[in-house]
C-alpha cells in the first residue's frame, strides 16, 4: 500500500515549546476501568444536576431558540455578566457587568491573560507549587517564572519583595483549596498579600474555581474584595465547571475595563465568543438561586470523600509521610520522606493499577522536590480509596525498607 501523503510543516518557535500535560498523559493510562485513579482533577459526576441542565437547555431553545443559536457579543450574554457581577458584589467586591468577560472555561481566561500581558522573558510570579494548567498556558508565551516561597499555610506574602517583584507582569495565585496542595490562605495572609501587592504595584490574578466548595473551616474573603480596600489591582477568575459541570466549558474573568477591553480583542481573534446557547442555559439555571440549593449537597459529598482519604492515609502511609488537610476542594498534597522519587513510584503504582500525579510538574522552576504527589479524591468510591491507599502505602514502605 502506498504511504499516505503527509506534507511537512515548519513549526513556529512557540509551537516547538509546547508539551503535553503530565496529568493528561497519566489519564490516558488510567482509562481502564480496573485502574484506581487519584490523578485527574475531575468533579464527581454524581454532583452534576443533569435534569436541571436539560430543562434549562430545553426552555431556552423553546422560548428563545433563534437567539440562542445565533452569534453573540464577544463580552458575553449580558444577563449572565450582570449575574456574575452581582454575585461578586454580594461578597464584597465592587464591579460592574462591563468588567466581566465570559470565557470558554477558565483555561481560556489563562490563555487570554498570557496573550495580552506576557512578552517573551517577561517575569511572571507564581506560588510554589502552582497549578499545572496555568504554567502550561503561560509557558506558551515564554515568560521567566519567579517562584514565590510558600509553606504549609500557602503563599508567604513577605516573600514578595521589591527586588523579586520588579518588572513582574502579575502574580498568579489560588487562595482557596489550592490546586495542587489543597491549602487555603488565612485572612491575615490575604490582607497582607493585597497590601503588599498594592505597595509594589503588582497585579494579582486570583484564580478561584473551588471557592464555593468549602466543607470545613471559616469562609474567607476574596482577594478581589480585599484588593479594592487596599488599592491593589486584582484580576479574578471563576468557573462554572466545579459548581455545575465542566462539560459546559463556561467561566468568567473580572478585571479593569482597560484589561477586559484588550482581552475582548484577543478573544475575538480566538473564538469570536463563547457559546450563546450555553450561556443562556446557565443563566436560566443560576438566576433564581439554584446554586444555593445545589451546592450544600456537593459540599457534603466532597467532605465525606475527603474524610475517607484522610482516614486511609493515616492508616496506610508511613509515619514519616505528611499531608495537607484541606477545608474544601478536591486535592490532598503528600510529602514523602527524602529519597523517594514519586515519578518512579508512579510506574510501580500503575503496574498495580493505581495512579496519582507526581508533584514535580507543579513547580515552575527546577530543581523541584521529587518526593511529593497530588491525590484527587472526589471521584473514587470509599472502598477503592482505601484499597488504593493500601497499595500506595505498601509500595512506599517497601522503599523505606
SS (H, E, C) 60-95: HHHHHHHHHCCCCCCCCCHHHHHHHHHHHHHCCCCC
C-alpha 53/C-alpha 282 separation (Å) is 8
Going from N- to C-terminal start, the domains of the chain cover 19-48+292-399, 51-288
C-alpha 318/C-alpha 394 separation (Å) is 9
Helix, coil or strand: residue 271: coil
- The answer for residues whose C-beta is within 8 angstroms of residue 126's C-beta and 6 or more apart is 134, 135, 145, 146, 147, 148, 171, 172, 173, 364
Domain 19-48+292-399, CATH among 3.40.50.150, 3.90.1150.10, 3.40.50.2030, 3.40.50.300: 3.90.1150.10
Q: Cite the beta strand spans of 303-388 per DSSP E.
A: 322-323, 331-335, 354-355, 357-358, 372-376
C-alpha 345/C-alpha 375 separation (Å) is 14
Helix, coil or strand: residue 165: helix
pTM exceeds cut of 0.85: yes
Domain 51-288, CATH among 3.30.70.270, 3.40.50.11890, 3.30.800.10, 3.40.640.10: 3.40.640.10
Helix, coil or strand: residue 182: coil
Which pLDDT score is estimated for 232? 86
Which pLDDT score is estimated for 22? 62
HSE-CB of 238 using CA atoms within 13 angstroms? 23
CB-count exposure of residue 262 (10 Å: 0-12, 13-18, 19+):
middle
CB 222 within 8 A of CB 93: yes
Question: Cell digits for 397?
Answer: 514502605
C-alpha 255/C-alpha 102 separation (Å) is 12
Helix (H) or strand (E) holding 290: helix 290-316
- Going from the first residue of the chain to its last (401 residues), give the mean pLDDT of each consecutive group of 10, the final group possibly shorter: 70 78 64 86 93 98 97 98 97 96 96 98 97 95 96 95 97 98 97 97 97 96 92 94 96 97 97 97 98 96 97 97 98 96 95 95 92 96 98 96 76
pLDDT tens per residue across span 148-179? 999 999 999 999 999 999 999 999 999 999 99
C-alpha 222/C-alpha 211 separation (Å) is 9
Which pLDDT score is estimated for 27? 65
Amino acid at each position: 500500500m502506498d504511504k499516505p501523503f503527509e506534507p511537512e510543516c515548519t513549526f513556529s518557535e512557540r509551537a516547538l515549546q509546547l508539551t503535553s500535560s503530565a496529568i493528561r498523559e497519566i489519564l490516558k493510562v488510567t482509562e481502564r476501568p480496573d485502574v484506581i485513579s487519584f490523578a485527574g482533577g475531575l468533579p464527581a459526576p454524581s454532583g452534576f444536576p443533569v435534569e436541571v441542565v436539560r430543562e434549562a437547555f430545553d426552555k431556552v431553545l423553546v422560548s428563545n431558540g433563534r437567539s440562542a443559536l445565533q452569534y453573540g457579543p464577544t463580552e458575553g450574554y449580558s444577563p449572565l455578566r450582570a449575574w456574575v457581577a452581582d454575585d461578586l458584589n454580594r461578597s464584597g467586591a465592587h464591579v460592574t457587568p462591563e468588567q466581566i468577560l465570559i470565557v470558554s472555561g477558565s483555561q481560556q481566561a489563562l490563555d487570554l491573560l498570557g496573550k495580552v500581558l506576557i512578552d517573551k522573558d517577561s517575569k511572571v510570579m507564581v506560588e510554589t507549587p502552582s497549578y499545572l494548567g496555568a504554567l502550561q498556558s503561560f509557558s506558551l508565551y515564554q515568560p521567566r517564572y519567579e517562584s514565590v516561597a510558600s509553606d504549609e499555610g500557602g503563599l508567604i506574602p513577605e516573600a514578595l519583595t521589591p527586588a523579586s517583584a520588579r518588572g513582574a507582569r502579575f502574580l498568579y495565585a489560588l487562595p482557596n483549596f489550592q490546586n495542587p496542595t489543597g491549602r487555603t490562605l488565612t485572612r491575615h495572609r490575604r490582607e497582607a498579600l493585597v497590601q503588599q501587592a498594592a505597595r509594589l504595584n503588582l497585579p494579582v490574578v486570583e484564580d478561584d474555581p473551588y471557592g464555593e466548595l468549602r466543607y470545613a473551616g471559616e469562609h474567607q474573603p476574596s482577594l478581589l474584595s480585599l484588593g479594592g480596600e487596599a488599592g491593589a489591582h486584582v484580576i479574578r477568575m471563576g468557573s462554572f465547571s466545579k459548581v455545575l459541570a465542566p462539560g459546559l466549558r463556561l467561566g468568567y474573568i473580572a478585571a479593569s475595563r482597560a484589561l477586559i477591553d484588550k482581552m475582548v480583542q484577543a478573544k475575538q481573534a480566538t473564538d469570536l465568543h463563547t457559546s450563546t446557547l450555553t450561556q443562556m442555559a446557565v443563566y436560566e439555571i443560576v438566576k433564581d438561586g439554584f446554586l444555593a440549593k445545589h451546592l450544600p449537597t456537593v459540599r457534603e459529598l466532597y467532605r465525606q470523600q475527603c474524610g475517607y482519604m484522610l482516614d486511609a492515609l493515616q492508616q496506610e502511609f508511613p509515619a514519616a509521610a505528611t499531608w495537607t488537610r484541606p477545608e474544601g476542594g478536591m486535592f490532598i498534597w503528600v510529602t514523602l520522606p527524602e529519597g523517594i522519587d514519586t515519578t518512579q513510584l508512579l510506574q510501580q503504582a500503575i503496574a498495580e493499577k493505581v495512579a496519582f500525579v507526581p508533584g514535580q510538574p507543579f513547580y515552575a522552576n527546577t530543581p523541584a522536590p521529587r518526593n511529593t504527589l497530588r491525590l484527587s479524591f472526589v471521584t473514587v468510591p470509599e472502598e477503592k480509596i482505601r484499597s488504593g491507599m493500601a497499595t500506595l502505602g505498601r509500595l512506599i514502605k517497601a522503599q523505606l525498607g
